Structure 1
Amino acid sequence: MTITHINPAALHSNPAFSNGILVSGGGNLLFVGGQNGTDASGAITGDVAEQSAQATRNVLQVVSEAGGTVENIVKLTIYLVTGSDLQAAYTAAIEVWGSHPTTLSMLQVAGLGRPEALIELDAVAVIS
């Protein structure tokens, strides 16, 4: 399986994300459902930075369980509750995530399924 990052010269380029990712040569698609900053007991605590780091760890744990790593993630969607500190969330997540670029969508939302949740992540990975 080959993962090729597509970043046309005519589009804005950012080292934190790719404009597109082409997957060739086969592999299994893994869809990671929405992950909040939920710990193993099911609790959500802390500010948006703490929740962002935990949600990122949760995504990576699901991918790991399927046999992949952060390198296999080709799409990440971030849902951030309006008024939450995007920079704090991003900084905390990057400490867990590392410098692996992926395609990325970020949405501000009025709220999430659990009122104490400030962030939710979902992802798509291709695992060979």
Structure 2
Amino acid sequence: MSTIRRIVAPSVTEAKPGLWSNCLAVGSIAYISGLTARGKDFNVIADTDEYEQSRIIFEKMKALVEAAGGRMADIVKLTIFVTNIAEREKVWAARREFFTGDFPCASLVQVAALASPEILVEIEAIAHLGASAG
């Protein structure tokens, strides 16, 4: 039987206890919570658009999946939440900087709001660690 492992990365600020975990792994599957462009102080990084927020999120995601023993190519599913779907090309531009070949399955959903007005993008992921070729 597999056990649940909490995955942390030094570059990704963890939520206070009792709120959520950024990444949990069970066996070779890693579940990454909805990540946002919050900095170490837990405030949203100022003056960022959808592209910059997505890049920050994918950097955090990369740190977490690598801390779990995987690579970005192991990510099989993304769920992307945006507050303005008209800006989706900016999200996709950032995504292309982190994925090549067969991209993860993905859903893109416009929502009325995220945790604070400055947050424009939130992305969650599922990775099958070690499953990618190479």
Provide TM-score, normalisation by structure 1: 0.71
Instruction: Report which of the two has the higher share of strand.
Output: 1
Work out whether 1:64 is the aligned partner of 2:82.
Answer: no
Work out whether 1:29 is the aligned partner of 2:18.
Answer: no
Aligned-pair distance for 1:121? 0.4
Aligned residue pairs: how many? 101
Q: In 1, distance between residues paired with 2:87 and 2:54?
A: 11
Q: Is the 8 Å Cα contact of residues 73 and 126 (structure 1) preserved in structure 2? A: yes
Q: Determine helix, strand or coil for the equivalent of 2:93.
A: helix
Q: Runs (4+) of structure 1 moved beyond 3 Å?
A: none
Q: Select the residue among 95, 106, 111 that pairs with 2:108.
A: 106
The answer to which structure, 1 or 2, has the higher relative contact order (CA under 8 A, 6+ apart) is 1
Aligned-pair distance for 1:109? 0.6
Q: Deviations 1:48-82 (Å, cap 9, x if unpaired)? A: 11101101111111111111101111111100113
Identical columns (%): 29
Q: Is the 8 Å Cα contact of residues 83 and 121 (structure 2) preserved in structure 1? A: yes
1:120 match = 122
Q: In 1, distance between residues paired with 2:64 and 2:71?
A: 9
RMSD over equivalenced CA pairs, Å: 1.7
Provide TM-score, normalisation by structure 2: 0.68
Runs of 5+ consecutive residues of structure 2 not aligned to the other structure: 1-26
- Matched to 2:63, the amino acid is Q
Runs of 5+ consecutive residues of structure 1 not aligned to the other structure: 1-26
Aligned-pair distance for 1:106? 0.8
